């Protein structure tokens, strides 16, 4: 049987060395799934740098490993979740790739450009998403109607929605908000090739408008959007303005290192936004 996602081409030792050294021994099933999800979400930052530099991210698994595991870089949702899905399949999990319409932070009809994963562990279905760049969750969510999962100062749930979809919601400051509308139909690789092309090239793509970085830990959420750096601890948020001169220091805080030519190009891009 052919391998449509590139799972056979995955360098699993390189991934584990970057993301989860020492995680595998003694863990299995849902426990292992949870450990890996948290490890990936905290080790690998979200970044849309390639899109701002007019480079479409490669969805070829060895390229993603080179970028995110052998360099101090992050990536966008397709890179994160495609990589994570291949890791899980190599470890024996059943994985389906799902497409979603991002609702948070936007208005009007939105295309299905986001990737998330449906994973079966210990007989239960879980929603995994290590690549949502805004208000993402650290650990998998149970794909059970309305079940609330608390994670730090946030709570998450999955609710049924019309048209064979579900709403993935976050509760912050006492109010439920929809992150995205998730289609429960498994999608083939070609659908995400089209989605990746759209978010990388379309002038209305949210990911081409401004620099967006995120790094999670168990206690804090560090975000950069445009020139605003936000550190969220619990329900407390601190904001500061970031200029292009401070870019190397800020990138380092997110665990991101760029080559000299990349940094110069990114500085020109963010300076043009001022």
What was the pLDDT predicted at 108?
66
Reply yes or no on whether 114 is catalytic: yes
Instruction: Tell me the CA end-to-end span of the chain in Å, nearest whole number.
Output: 52
Q: Catalytic residue among 77, 86, 128, 166, which?
A: 77
Both tokens of 39, joined, read: 């490890």
**Cβ within 8 Å of residue 106, ≥6 positions away:** 206
Per-residue b or e along 158-170, where b marks 16 or more CB atoms closer than 10 Å to that residue's CB: beeeeeebbbbbb
Both tokens of 101, joined, read: 């319409």
What was the pLDDT predicted at 80?
98
Closest among 82, 100, 64, 51 to 189, alpha carbons compared: 82
Q: Catalytic residue among 76, 128, 129, 166, which?
A: 129
Q: Catalytic residue among 40, 78, 114, 227, which?
A: 114
What was the pLDDT predicted at 106?
67
Question: What does the alpha-carbon distance between residue 229 and residue 219 come to, in Å, rounded to a whole number?
Answer: 17
What was the pLDDT predicted at 158?
97
What was the pLDDT predicted at 219?
80
Secondary structure (3-state) at 224: strand
Pairing of strands 175-183, 46-47: unpaired
What was the pLDDT predicted at 213?
96
pTM: 0.95
Q: How many CB atoms lie within 10 A of CB 240?
A: 11
Reply yes or no on whether 77 is catalytic: yes
What was the pLDDT predicted at 27?
81
What was the pLDDT predicted at 243?
87
Per-residue b or e along 126-146, where b marks 16 or more CB atoms closer than 10 Å to that residue's CB: bbbbbbbbbbbbbbbbbbeee
Mean pLDDT, the chain cut into blocks of 10 residues (274 residues total) = 88 94 81 95 96 96 97 96 97 97 80 96 97 88 95 91 91 90 96 96 91 89 94 89 91 96 94 70
């Amino acid at each position: 049987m052919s391998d449509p996602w590139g799972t056979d081409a995955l360098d699993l030792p390189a991934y584990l060395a970057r993301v989860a050294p020492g995680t595998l021994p003694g863990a299995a099933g849902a426990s292992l799934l949870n450990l890996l999800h948290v490890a990936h979400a905290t080790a690998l930052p979200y970044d849309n740098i390639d899109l701002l530099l007019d480079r479409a991210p490669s969805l070829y698994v060895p390229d993603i490993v080179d970028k995110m595991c052998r360099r101090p870089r992050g990536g966008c949702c397709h890179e994160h979740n495609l990589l994570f899905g291949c890791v899980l399949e190599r470890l024996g999990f059943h994985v389906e790739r799902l497409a979603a319409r991002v609702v948070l932070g936007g208005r009007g009809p939105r295309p299905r450009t986001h990737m998330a994963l449906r994973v079966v562990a210990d007989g239960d279905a879980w929603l995994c998403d290590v690549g949502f760049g805004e208000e993402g969750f650290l650990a998998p969510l149970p794909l059970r109607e309305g079940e609330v999962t608390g994670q730090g100062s946030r709570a998450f749930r999955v609710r049924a929605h019309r048209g064979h979809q579900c709403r993935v919601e976050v509760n912050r400051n006492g109010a439920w908000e929809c992150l995205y509308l998730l289609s429960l139909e498994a999608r083939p690789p070609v659908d995400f090739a089209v989605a990746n092309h759209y978010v990388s090239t379309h002038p209305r793509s949210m990911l081409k408008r401004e620099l967006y970085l995120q790094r999670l830990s168990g206690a804090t959420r560090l975000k950069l959007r445009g020139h605003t750096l936000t550190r969220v601890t619990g329900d407390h948020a601190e904001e500061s303005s970031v200029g292009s001169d401070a870019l190397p220091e800020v990138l380092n805080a997110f665990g991101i290192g760029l080559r000299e030519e990349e940094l110069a190009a990114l500085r020109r891009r963010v300076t043009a936004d001022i």
